[in-house]
Amino acid sequence: MTAEDRPNATGLAAKPEDGLLKAWVADHRRVASDTANFISQRILGSFLVWVMLGIALTLPGLLWIAQSNLQAFGSQWQGNAGLSVYMEVGASESQVRDLAAQLQQNNTVQRAVLTTPAAALEELLARSGDSEFLREALASIDVNPLPASFSVVLKDDASYLALDALSRQLLALPGVDDVVIQSAWIERLQDLTNLANAIGGGLSSILLAAAVLVTFAAVRLAIESKLAELRVLALVGATASQMRRPFLYFGAAYGVGGGIMSVLLIALFLNEIEAPLESLLISYQIDVSLAGFSPGFLLAVVVTGWLLGLMGALLALSQKLGDLTKEAS
């Protein structure tokens, strides 16, 4: 025993003034290293936690990608939105000209293409493969039974409401027999999308809560396994934050691992559906490539996992460490 073993002469409950930042950084480094050891020593259990968190994060991630792609698809379709205007059979040329002039002056209309009764008849015959029967039937009547029609395409920023208003306005014009909006099915699709978003939002909330609970359970077990150490640390003067720190690291590590697992699962899923989805869209002559799986999205998933992991850890700490931290503080 030497003079070095003499007691410290600092104030009774005073914080040391020097080296606190250094000690804080050193403690973080030590806790990070301990966390890596703790997880690697329980790699199977940790892997299962990551998988559970990954699955819980995957559905919200996929829903987000689906939502952003449907929005892109909807906006692309809206660019080509339009309607077909059918004149009455026998409508006068002046009525057709008036309508064409009105369409040209309308702000929401990008272009309007007139199909004359004669052109429509030619098209019908062409589509029927120049059917002899149809040609003879048409020859037996004196007048062309097909009406003139306009194919109207609206501007990109035109909404469905504008389309509907134009449709009503045109229907009221003399010589106009019918107006067919070409977007009714898209509106239904949008309604379905809204419904899917609402259901998806609810499911996502449940799954994200499940992710918090998974981390909560994992961190709680970690606290249980370190209770003896925590009791000693409380006795020798650990602050509440020093006692919490390792478990916040556990929660963060579980969360980040779960986020990375989720990214992998989403990538696998998208890879599986990409080819059949493209084939389906091509059959509908829709040119939309899958969007949303960007670096920003990947980062968002991992950060979400990290935050959920921290939340789970804080929940576990508030429940299990309450008494010990009271002792420590």
Which parts of this chain interact with another protein (CB under 8 A)? Answer: 1-8, 10, 12-16, 18-20, 22-23, 26-27, 30, 228-229, 231-233, 235-240, 242, 327-329
**Alpha-helical segments (H) within the chain:** 20-41, 43-79, 93-105, 117-127, 132-139, 160-171, 184-225, 227-235, 240-283, 295-320, 322-328
| CA 204 – CA 219 distance, rounded (Å) | 22
Q: For residue 142, give Cα distances in angstroms to 57, 120, 131, 138, 320.
A: 69, 16, 19, 8, 92
Q: How far is the CB of 328 from another protein (least distance, A)?
A: 6
| CB of 14 or CB of 43, closer to another protein | 14
Q: For residue 313, give Cα distances in angstroms to 38, 52, 120, 306.
A: 15, 16, 70, 11
| CB of 30 or CB of 188, closer to another protein | 30
Q: How far is the CB of 227 from another protein (least distance, A)?
A: 11
| CB of 26 or CB of 299, closer to another protein | 26
Q: How far is the CB of 5 from another protein (least distance, A)?
A: 6
| CB of 6 or CB of 168, closer to another protein | 6
User: Of 213, 203, 189, 257, which is closest to residue 62 (Cα–Cα)?
Assistant: 203
Q: For residue 152, give Cα distances in angstroms to 110, 111, 230, 242.
A: 8, 6, 75, 70
Q: How far is the CB of 314 from another protein (least distance, A)?
A: 19
User: What are 10's two structure tokens?
Assistant: 């600092």
| CB of 12 or CB of 139, closer to another protein | 12
Q: How far is the CB of 220 from another protein (least distance, A)?
A: 19
User: What are 319's two structure tokens?
Assistant: 């429940």
| CB of 108 or CB of 239, closer to another protein | 239
CA dihedral (59, 61, 64, 66) in degrees, to 10, reads: -60
| CB of 22 or CB of 168, closer to another protein | 22
Burial call 275-303: b when 16+ CB within 10 Å, e when fewer: eeeeeeeeeeeeebebebbeeebbeebbe
User: What are 275's two structure tokens?
Assistant: 């080819």
Q: How far is the CB of 235 from another protein (least distance, A)?
A: 5
| CB of 10 or CB of 318, closer to another protein | 10
Q: How far is the CB of 74 from another protein (least distance, A)?
A: 56
| CA 191 – CA 21 distance, rounded (Å) | 56
